[in-house]
Structure 1
Amino acid sequence: MGVNILDDLKVTKCTLWTTTKSALDCLYLEATKVWLSESEEAEETLHDNTYQLYVPVRCEADILLTRDSSPERYDLKSVEEMEANGEFDPPFNFTFKLQNLGPFTVGHLLVKVTIPTLTKGNNLLLILTNNSTSPQDGIQCTLAGHTALQQWLPPRGQVVTEDLRTYEKLDASNSQFNLLLCDVRNFKTSDEYSVHISGRLATDSLMALRFRSLLLVTTATLDIWEPRAMFLKEEARSREITLHVTKQYESEVSIWIIIGSLLGGLLLFALLTLALWKIGFFQTAYRRRKEAMAAGNGSIEQSSKKGIEH
């Protein structure tokens, strides 16, 4: 568009061109302005009067992140009962689903999934066995720092005494975790992807740890890398899957402490009884009771004799 401004004292001509361009459907503005003074200007200085203005317009992506898990809760029982019911190291399945509900194409989306697999004391919590995506095209997932699936599995049978009763939950902030990174390219409108994670609970390690109730929290977080002008609302960036583990047979006091206390109480009672018997406590009491009974019988006999004489 062109704009002419006339002034009685000075004549200035302004010419403004504006255009809009698209970067993966996320719009920005580009404007070119040319200012001409009222007097003739040398050709070599005309470039001083021309410049470009680039104004990015941020746009919000509408990506729906949902989750599903099975099971949501697991109650630890005795080892014998779990083995009898075939529940030793039971399986779990986590799924995060992505849906692009907005009008914009997301050039590069990064999905970060943190799974708490070890305590800080190196005790095993979850055994990861597999991860997959559906569909497989357009998304690629890798484990950060791992080259083979077998490296997900820490050594078994190495349980260190650890008290977790002060923890309400274990997540990436207070445990050792595995990081699953998924790249989504050219995420178009109405596209959908699912990330599946499967594994088993390490029941032998969980039984040895001290806790009553514990939440194992797996978190998925979204970050948009391209285009830079696109963003997600903070409340839409992450979702959590919580696996609630409880113990039915966790006791505050060891059974051996209870048995020892009971035997100690019985022994103390026996020693106290023996000491009282040694000092004649029971004999003195018996003698007093016998004398009292004899005195009572004598009073009754005297009363009976007086009654007969009268």
Structure 2
Amino acid sequence: MTNCRISHPIFRELSEVIFILTLDVSNTNNWSHSVQLNVTASSKNEDPAKLKNNRATLQIPIIYRVNVLVRRWDSTKILNISLSSQEIKEVVHRFQVENLGVRPMPVNVTFTTTKQLGHEILWNVSGVTPEEAPTDRIRCVVLGEVEGRAATKVNRTREGCNADSRLAMRCLVDQLVHNTPLTFALRGYVFLTNASKIKTCRLLTVAQVSFDERRYTQAGDENDKDGFLTSEVTTDVEIIQEVNYIPFISGGAVGGLLLLILIGVILWKVGFFKRSYKDRIDEDQTAVQAEPQCTTPLNCEPGSE
């Protein structure tokens, strides 16, 4: 209880006094949802019959200032899938939620993810799992497929890859303790369901933290609050179309054989394979061998050995 006294010379007729009350909420104490303030004004010079309007009651809600952060964690960034072998590969999207403040608080973490891109790519993620956290503090449920505003961000994929199916999941955390981060993982296998004509697509998961705004308010600037409470993870899926080299090898072998035949035909046309031409070459070689040999070139005369 606080008493404020106003002396007679100050509080004159038709004058007013404004009281400013400042309250500080402790982070260690547990307060109720609101605090009630009762204000009563009294004077010895006032008629008791007019005291009915000398009371006022004000109910003020108690809101704690908190600092919660969600960020992307170790996840699959790039995935290569061969179109010919129809590979099946695992994709993991991870998020970490941390309470940077002092007061423990309950939070909800909602995940909205791409499940199917057109008729070509399917990610069979079925749920979200907390990693290295007590299961009694966290409960995760699948909300089902979502449309409309809840899927606006997830629908933002690369050109030619329409997110036809989006899945929403939510984890309820009873107490998010100071400096004890929680990691959530979305796991599933990606495979092609049809012969795809696209080369690259993107899987996108958006995580958003929410809490009771009647009890808590996020610290920081009003325009920057969403940056701390929302995060996203993307995986670029590249579809590899392997080249069949057998036609190139066969074509090269056939082309080489045809070129060899063409060279042979040209040589035959110029008489390379004729016998007379071969005989002339043999005669020239015989004439060269029949010429006299001179052992001492300086003493040799024409017509002598």
**TM-score normalised by the shorter chain: which range applies?**
0.5 to 0.7
What is the correspondence of 1:94-243 to structure 2 with a 5 Å cutoff? 94-106=93-105, 108-119=106-117, 121=118, 124-129=121-126, 131-133=128-130, 134-135=132-133, 136-145=135-144, 166-167=159-160, 174-205=163-194, 208-225=195-212, 227-231=214-218, 233-243=225-235
* C-alpha separation in 2, matches of 1:222 and 1:131: 15
Instruction: State the SS of the aligned residue for 2:211.
Output: strand
Instruction: State the SS of the aligned residue for 1:234.
Output: helix
More helix by share: 1
* C-alpha separation in 2, matches of 1:26 and 1:243: 45
* Shift, 1:95, TM fit: 1.8
The AA in structure 2 aligned to 1:221 is Q
Report the counterpart of residue 244 of structure 1 in structure 2.
Answer: 236
Please give the per-residue CA displacement for 1:222-246, whole angstroms capped at 9, x wherever unaligned: 1112653423611111111101012
* C-alpha separation in 2, matches of 1:111 and 1:25: 25
1:77 aligned to which of 76, 82, 86: 82
Please provide the CA RMSD for this pair.
3.7
* 228 and 142 in structure 1: CA distance in 2 versus 1, 3 angstrom threshold: same
Please give the per-residue CA displacement for 1:127-149, whole angstroms capped at 9, x wherever unaligned: 12553223112111000149xxx
* C-alpha separation in 2, matches of 1:2 and 1:13: 17
* C-alpha separation in 2, matches of 1:203 and 1:122: 9
* 93 and 227 in structure 1: CA distance in 2 versus 1, 3 angstrom threshold: same
* C-alpha separation in 2, matches of 1:186 and 1:24: 14
Question: Is the contact made by 1:32 and 1:53 (CA closer than 8 Å) also made in structure 2?
Answer: yes
Point out where structure 1 has 5 or more consecutive residues left out of the alignment. 83-87, 147-163, 252-310
The AA in structure 2 aligned to 1:104 is R
Report the counterpart of residue 266 of structure 2 in structure 1.
Answer: none
* C-alpha separation in 1, matches of 2:207 and 2:36: 37
The AA in structure 2 aligned to 1:166 is E
Aligned length: 218
The AA in structure 2 aligned to 1:110 is N
Report the counterpart of residue 288 of structure 1 in structure 2.
Answer: none
More strand by share: 1
* 217 and 13 in structure 1: CA distance in 2 versus 1, 3 angstrom threshold: closer
* 70 and 105 in structure 1: CA distance in 2 versus 1, 3 angstrom threshold: closer
* 93 and 33 in structure 1: CA distance in 2 versus 1, 3 angstrom threshold: same
Point out where structure 2 has 5 or more consecutive residues left out of the alignment. 146-156, 220-224, 244-305
* C-alpha separation in 2, matches of 1:247 and 1:179: 26
Question: Is the contact made by 1:4 and 1:12 (CA closer than 8 Å) also made in structure 2?
Answer: no
The AA in structure 2 aligned to 1:193 is L
The AA in structure 2 aligned to 1:181 is R
Please give the per-residue CA displacement for 1:39-84, whole angstroms capped at 9, x wherever unaligned: 1313xx645321222344654421221223443101222323x6xx
Please give the per-residue CA displacement for 1:72-100, whole angstroms capped at 9, x wherever unaligned: 101222323x6xxxxx2111222212111
* C-alpha separation in 2, matches of 1:189 and 1:50: 42
* Shift, 1:103, TM fit: 1.8
* C-alpha separation in 2, matches of 1:240 and 1:71: 13
What is the correspondence of 1:249-260 to structure 2 with a 5 Å cutoff? 249=241
Bigger drift between 133-142 and 189-198 goes to 189-198
The AA in structure 2 aligned to 1:109 is V
Instruction: State the SS of the aligned residue for 2:41.
Output: strand
Please give the per-residue CA displacement for 1:153-200, whole angstroms capped at 9, x wherever unaligned: xxxxxxxxxxx9734x66xxx532111111112323233322222110
* C-alpha separation in 2, matches of 1:250 and 1:30: 73
The AA in structure 1 aligned to 2:129 is S
Report the counterpart of residue 62 of structure 1 in structure 2.
Answer: 67
